[in-house]
Chain A
Amino acid sequence: MPESPPPGPRPPGFVAQALRIAAKDLAIEWRSREVVATMTFLAVVVVLIFSFAFVVEGSRPPAPVVAGIIWIALVMSGTVGLGRAFDREREGEAIRSLLLTPAPRAAIYLGKLVATCALMAITETVLTGLAAVLFSASLGDVIGRVALLLVLGTVGFAAAGCIFSAALLRARGRDALLATLLYPIIVPIVIAGARGTTQLIDPISPDFDGARFWTQFLVAVDILFVTAGLWAFEPIVSGD
């Protein structure tokens, strides 16, 4: 009688597993466009509501207002995406099949994170363009730096959000719980993103040094949140 089971196929590497999971999520979303359409619609509605509330006809709104609207819309639409991030794993108990594969838990987390960031990036592109048009925001010269802030903010937001979304996989009222648990955690991201964006889009005196500080701050937050997510995902999904 053999001493151990016969070896099976050699599983792919960590990054390949993560990318396969992300590709699966994006392929499903490409077919339905269900989540990204909802996220984008919500982001547009939020921008319009705030523009009606804060923008006086004929005058350009102050940079902090524009930046605040962009980041609030980003957080609200992103929450919708995160709320659906693990829906497809929950339906039909696909999560069990996924957890039984040799894919490391951290690779599963990374795959979900990449897919969530990709969906949010689509929404942010529309969101930023709309804000530039509605608020006459001077993004032309600083679009690269603003995009960098948005990308960094998205990674941190999604890194924390994917963990909470996984933890609430089987919870009742998970959409409300997700926002309640997630928003206090992502306050530093919103502050850094909004402040940095304000400094960049100020039409009179852009503060590039100040924006650089907030960019570096977001890099540090991203490293912290992604590391914590990679570490915490295993005990969260393995909890029995």
Chain B
Amino acid sequence: MTGSPPVLRLANVGKIYGGRRALAGVSAAFEPGRVAAVLGPNGAGKSTLLGILSTLVAPTTGEVRWGQAPLAHGSHLRARIGYVGHDPGLYGDLTALENLILFAALYGVADGRERADTLLARVGLSDVPADAPARTFSRGMLQRLALARALTHDPALLLFDEPAAALDPAGADWLATELGAERAAGRVVVLVTHDLEAAAAIANQVVILRRGRVVFDETPAGGFGAAALRATYEAKTRA
């Protein structure tokens, strides 16, 4: 990635869906060159938080700033964001190459074909039959292609929403390696996951949400041990 992105800051962010509070008073900062893992039980507001960071969901209160620039609903800064969810976000009727060329074109990437070839090689999909539509891919292959799609435009912020869900252990290991590579590339990386072991292995910062509120946010210099993180998680999320 060219140039280091600024810090991403949330200030008192809240979200209410039809009277139901999904997030309340969330403040946090995500720095480049780190992987921030957002943890929490189901319904804690993790995906809503990711939706707000992606600009696809508008916060009800508070604001998100990326450096000095507001990262608001519909902001042009969305062009600097890459998103990998548990659904691949791809066109199943298009081939891997066609998917990447399409998104490269929509982002205005010069030499979209070359970029697509490079990314397919990086995620290990170069050998896939050229005429195979994405719908014929295995779950692991789709997640590889989803990551390639998210990287097509060299984003400065990468958001992952339970990307390892339904991946086999080898796929999860591959994903952890890729997350590490993106951290090293100096991107802001935010990972929503239920996998505490994976979070302990890869994350520099851990944010725990419970009932829409931040109950834990730390960035220890020595990283997290899996046992310590589990103990902290259980203590912070116990009803």
Contact = CB atoms under 8 A, between A and B. Distances in A.
A5 B91 contact: no
Nearest to B149: A97
Contacts of A2: 3-6, 67
A18 B73 CA distance: 21
A165 interface: no
A12 B109 CA distance: 9
Given A5-B157, A20-B106, A97 B83 contact: yes
B56 A1 contact: no
B154 to A, nearest CB: 7
Given A4-B6, A100-B55, 19 more contacts: A1-B6, A2-B67, A3-B68, A5-B77, A5-B157, A6-B1, A6-B2, A8-B108, A8-B156, A10-B108, A12-B105, A20-B102, A20-B105, A27-B98, A28-B94, A97-B83, A101-B107, A102-B108, A240-B57
Interface stretch (A85-93, A117-125, A139-147, A188-196): A85-93
Interface of B: 1-7, 17, 51, 54-58, 66-69, 73-74, 76-81, 83, 85, 87-94, 98, 102-103, 105-110, 134-135, 142, 149, 153-157
Contact of A88 (B1, B77, B92): B92
Contacts of A31: 93
A11 B105 CA distance: 8
A181 B151 CA distance: 39
B92 A91 contact: yes
A223 interface: no
Contacts of A100: 54-56, 78, 81, 83
The size class of the interface chain A forms with chain B is 35 or more
B79 A101 contact: yes
Interface string A1-29: 11111101111100001001100100110
A185 interface: no
Contacts of A28: 91, 93-94
A96 interface: yes
A101 B51 contact: no
Contacts of B154: 8-9
Nearest to B1: A6
Contacts of A93: 85, 87-89
A5 B5 contact: yes
Contacts of B79: 8-9, 11, 101-102
B65 to A, nearest CB: 10
Nearest to B31: A1
Contacts of B58: 238, 240
A231 B139 CA distance: 37
A240 B153 contact: no
Contact of A5 (B66, B87, B94, B103): B66
Nearest to A31: B93
A92 B93 contact: no
Interface string A164-186: 00000000000000000000000
B37 to A, nearest CB: 21
Nearest to A6: B3
B56 A240 contact: yes
B56 A99 contact: yes
A186 B30 CA distance: 50
A91 B51 CA distance: 19
A17 B106 contact: yes
A209 to B, nearest CB: 46
